[in-house]
Amino acid sequence: MRCRAAKRQIELKLDRELEPGRIRKLDQHLSSCPACRAYLDEGLKLQKLLQAQPRAEFPAWLHHQIMEKTARHDRQRKQYKIRWRLQTIPALLVLILMFTVGGLLGKAAFSSFVPFPETPSATPSQELASFGEVSLLDDPNLAGGVHE
């Protein structure tokens, strides 16, 4: 075991969180490593110092103040959720109204507009195939039968 891993496991052992199977491996490392033994001894001394210190007593009003603030915070969160939900209703109504009015106005404005004629026009095919001054039909290579 390396010292870096041993130090992490020493900290877990001091906190009584190290698994029993790993304690044996850590003890083997500690028997051969004076640096890690010193780290463990320092941790034990620190624990003893902290346990010897008197525990600070909290004022009686502190618990009530914390509980009151958390209750107030919960009420504000609920009010915010309700307010947000109520604000979405008018927004959705405006969107529905906008699309409805837009559709009706568009239908009224373009009711007489016909994008395509109902009957095909009697346009000669030569006019459809021409581009600019030269048409495809005038090209001898495409006229058909020239190179046959």
Q: Is 59 helix (H, G, I), strand (E, B) or coil?
A: coil
Largest CA distance in the chain: 113
pLDDT tens, per residue, the chain with 148 residues: 899 999 999 999 999 999 988 898 999 999 999 999 999 999 999 999 998 988 888 888 999 999 999 999 999 999 888 888 888 888 999 999 999 999 888 887 777 776 666 665 555 555 555 555 555 555 666 655 544 4
Query: What one-character DSSP code corresponds to residue 137?
Result: G
**Whether the predicted model's global pTM rises above the 0.85 cut:** no
Quick check: 7 and 42 in contact, CB under 8 A?
no
